[in-house]
Amino acid sequence: MPIYRTEKNKDYVVMSNVFLQRKDLSIKAKGLLAYMLSLPDDWKITVGGLTSQLKECKSAVAAMLNELESNGYLYRNRDNPKPF
């Protein structure tokens, strides 16, 4: 199956593909991380905010965030009074 690539001159994100190649991360966690990397730098990441933009429910998003955190791809600011 051929892969069609387009010219990247707007609306794209550059990211490392290291996490995409890892076998110990689920495809859902990889997709969520890729999505989060595409968000603006000032976007406040919360479970509620993510579920409002995605098809997955809160428990699924929370599980993916936990997977990313346990594998070192996410750090939660525990000083924030409103946790995920």
Query: 8-19 pLDDT, tens per residue?
Result: 777 777 788 889
Q: How many CA atoms lie less than 13 Å away from 38 in the CB half-sphere?
A: 12
CA distances from 26 to 40, 57, 80, 83 (A): 24, 17, 27, 23
CA-CA distance, 33 to 30, in Å (whole number)?
5
Q: Which amino acid is at 68?
A: L
What confidence tier does 80 reach under pLDDT thresholds 50, 70, 90?
Answer: low
Tokens of residue 71, six digits? 């594998």
**Over the stretch 8-63, which tens digit does the pLDDT of each residue have?**
777 777 788 889 999 999 999 999 999 999 998 888 889 999 999 999 999 999 99
